Amino acid sequence: MNALAELAATGRIAVRYRVATADVGAVAEAVRIEQTIEYPLELITDGFIRDEVVGQVEDVTQRASGSEFTLSFHPDVAGGELSQLLNLLWGNVSLFECVRVVDVALPDAVLDVFFGPRFGLAGLRVLLDAPHRPLLTTAIKPMGLPAADLGEMAATLAIAGFDIVKDDHGLANQPWAPFRERVRTVSAAVAEANAASGNHCLYMPSLNVPSDRQVEAAYFAKESGAGALLVLPGLAGLDAMRSLADDPALGLPIMAHPSFQGSLVVNADQGLRHGLLFGLLARLAGADLSIFPSHGGRFSFSPEACADIADSCRRPLGGIAPIWPAPGGGMTLERVDEIANFYGLDVALLIGGALHRGNLAANATALAEKVRELGSAPTATMP
Amino acid sequence: MNALAELAATGRIAVRYRVATADVGAVAEAVRIEQTIEYPLELITDGFIRDEVVGQVEDVTQRASGSEFTLSFHPDVAGGELSQLLNLLWGNVSLFECVRVVDVALPDAVLDVFFGPRFGLAGLRVLLDAPHRPLLTTAIKPMGLPAADLGEMAATLAIAGFDIVKDDHGLANQPWAPFRERVRTVSAAVAEANAASGNHCLYMPSLNVPSDRQVEAAYFAKESGAGALLVLPGLAGLDAMRSLADDPALGLPIMAHPSFQGSLVVNADQGLRHGLLFGLLARLAGADLSIFPSHGGRFSFSPEACADIADSCRRPLGGIAPIWPAPGGGMTLERVDEIANFYGLDVALLIGGALHRGNLAANATALAEKVRELGSAPTATMP
């Protein structure tokens, strides 16, 4: 058990920060105040507030570069709610230029508040009748196509054997394929394709909708026959995703899209470690699958960041189920073996626009066959 | 009229990007695809999609450092909704390490979709009976105090002449002062203080609440007598703030808090220009006041960034009202003249914990008198 996990085992919220300035001790002092009382510490006369409510410095490690420190917090500071937990982890400190959160450990008292993903790794394997292999997912696109064309494309992918066919996340309520028309049309097309093929493809509309219509849109999707939901937590808010996942009457698998979240992770000296955002927080917020740009593309995460995300999606986390890392970007038939070797079989492959070079049906079928071979190969192992 | 405004005048959404890599042309090509069709351009046979839906490169300016390019987009790509407009401006491109949005110009067709702030600069001057002077605001704190103590503190500030007394944004639903108890207690205390003093102080609870209880919490606050709302758009989502501002039955002024938003602006080569987030987007999303850390503190924005935010809050923007820049951090009685000289009188001063050094009532009264003097001084001018 590492030092953070040991702190969490004592019931404290533990956060490890890396600091790109010389005066790590001063930053640690500033952060423990800024994230809790925002008040001059020397004016606090109440012993409980000074000793329990204010964050405590647990460790300061000064290095020539990349100094680190650990704070711990009373679990009640998080108030039993995801929004305040997020605020505690990365609220005001997000305004500091030189601080990155590199690790978080949560005590059971905090983890137990969250249901996490409704399906997760195991639940989607059952739902999709895919006991061993990677999942195969892609998006209908490009923006500008009418709903009927998007429906035809989705049907082709469903018949080929794709597990999830999602809206491109930028499909919103544009005049070319308005939300309701698109969801109705594509849901019907995928249902028909499933009936004809015996496949279990889920159509996943993008809930890129106004905040005050999100619940209505989610239920409209369900009632139209859509089998899953794509949520953009960088725009909708992580807690809005959590509220959809927690709704038992809705009960649809959720995939998180990283739109608008990039600045939280891509700046080396600032933000959150990749796996914390796309693994830990995605799970607390109820995602069953977590999209990120896989290594190997032109503007993509490093192999280390990708491995961190995959590990953070799947490692033990109290009673919260493991979820599917969904690497996207630059995925082709030729790279499937490489990608499965890197991520293992508990991965949802998100295939991009290259699928459309040549014949879509033939490309999609070849990919689906390739992925099914992976699941039955006796040598397939987890990394 | 600058080049971006000229593009907007032709009906296009115009976005200017700065790029920290050598190959600016390739980045421009990647971004115009990534933010729209996410599909190989050479496979597009439909002329409308290729010419209208895909972003267009309007200008590429290569420099030894800080190359820039301008893209323009068909207004329908934004789909008439804030969430998709945000996705267009900073969705997938947020995952690029080397790109910063430095300017945005929106055509009337897009601006006209948004109501913007319900009160804005002028509306709050009427509501608070403050025709000329800066507004004076602060937070009740620290976290850990019971509701009764917070109420007493709020009453002291209301009697002293503060315009807005907000919850510290980290006050959520902690056991020491749960949301409903706190809102009820502090609202009553401020109402009593106003009745006794003849002042117009607004108590502004923090809507740091679960997403699915945000509307209920806002109405609970209103029905309890709270006069305004603090929203955390970095956690709740900018569009959730917009939905609260747009609700005519709610009708309360809204202050935006920058929690969780820092990574969007503080990395020099990545993210959004400060004024775009805390000015333009805050206004589109309905904030009446926009908080940011003013220059002069230890971990605060530069004077240039602060001036940019203040200008972006107050400059003409179609039919969308100007709003209050609300600089916070390191504000003391001694700095009021300097701050008013920098920002002018159309500013909401957010006074921090230093107010509590010594006697709160005396400090608060001195500040309120000082701010009222500013509003009546014949030499007071806008910068």
Global ipTM: 0.97
Question: Do the beta carbons of residue B335 and residue B300 sit within 8 Å?
Answer: no
Chain A residues lying within 8 Å of B144, measured CB to CB: 37, 46, 48-49, 52-53
Low-confidence ranges of chain A (pLDDT < 70): 298-299, 377-383
Q: Tell me which of B93 and B378 has the higher pLDDT.
A: B93
Using CA atoms in the order B33, B35, B39, B41, what is the torsion angle rounded to 10 degrees?
-20
- Residue-wise pLDDT for A172-219, tens only, equals 999 999 999 999 999 999 999 999 999 999 999 999 999 999 999 999
- Mean pLDDT value across chain B: 95
State the smallest CA–CA distance between residue B167 and chain A in angstroms: 12
| Rg over CA atoms, chain B | 22
The verdict on a CB contact (< 8 Å) between A263 and B94 is yes
The verdict on a CB contact (< 8 Å) between A169 and B87 is yes
Q: Which two tokens stand for residue A81?
A: 């709610």
State the smallest CA–CA distance between residue A267 and chain B in angstroms: 7
**Could you say which of B141, B215, B271 has the minimum Cβ distance to residue A263?**
B271
Question: Do the beta carbons of residue A286 and residue A115 sit within 8 Å?
Answer: yes
Angle between helices A360-376 and A147-160 (to 10 degrees): 40
- Residue-wise pLDDT for A239-274, tens only, equals 999 999 999 999 999 999 999 999 999 999 999 999
- pTM of this prediction? 0.97
What chain B residue is nearest to A209 in terms of C-alpha separation? B83
The verdict on a CB contact (< 8 Å) between B40 and A356 is yes
pLDDT at B380 over 50: no
Question: Which residues on neighbouring strands pair with residue A317, listed in sequence order?
Answer: A319
pLDDT at B381 over 80: no
Question: Do the beta carbons of residue B247 and residue B204 sit within 8 Å?
Answer: no
- Closest by alpha carbon to A207, among A266, A250, A249, A159? A250
B95 touches chain A (CB under 8 A): yes
Q: Which residues contact B131 (CB under 8 A, 6 or more apart)?
A: B125, B375
Q: What is the pLDDT of residue B382?
A: 47
Q: Which two tokens stand for residue B242?
A: 């917009």
Torsions phi, psi for A248 (to 5 deg): -65, -25
Give the distance between the most distant pair of CA atoms in chain B. 73
pLDDT at B333 over 50: yes
The verdict on a CB contact (< 8 Å) between A353 and B38 is yes
Q: Which residues contact B6 (CB under 8 A, 6 or more apart)?
A: none
Question: Do the beta carbons of residue B231 and residue B244 sit within 8 Å?
Answer: yes
- Residue-wise pLDDT for B239-280, tens only, equals 999 999 999 999 999 999 999 999 999 999 999 999 999 999
Chain A residues lying within 8 Å of B73, measured CB to CB: none
Compute the average pLDDT of residues B35-61: 96
Q: What is the pLDDT of residue A321?
A: 98
In the chain, the amino acid numbered A375 is: G
Looking from the CA of A80 toward its CB, the CA atoms found within 13 Å total 7
**Could you say which of A80, A96, A266 has the minimum Cβ distance to residue B97?**
A266
Q: For residue B298, name the pLDDT band (cuts at 50, 70, 90).
A: low
The conformation of residue A18, written as its DSSP 8-state character, comes to E
Q: Which residues contact B309 (CB under 8 A, 6 or more apart)?
A: B274, B275, B278, B279, B290, B292, B301, B325
Question: Do the beta carbons of residue B191 and residue B164 sit within 8 Å?
Answer: no
**Could you say which of B36, B86, B300 has the minimum Cβ distance to residue A260?**
B86
**Could you say which of A88, A172, A298 has the minimum Cβ distance to residue B83?**
A172
pLDDT at B377 over 70: no
Taking residue B289's Cβ as centre, other Cβ atoms within 10 Å add up to 30
Q: For residue B222, name the pLDDT band (cuts at 50, 70, 90).
A: very high
A contact test, residue of B74, B211, B247, B295 with most A CBs within 10 A: B211
B267 touches chain A (CB under 8 A): yes
Please state the three-class secondary structure of B312-357 as a single string: HHHCCECECCCCEEEEECCCCHHHHHHHHHHHCCCCEEEECHHHHC
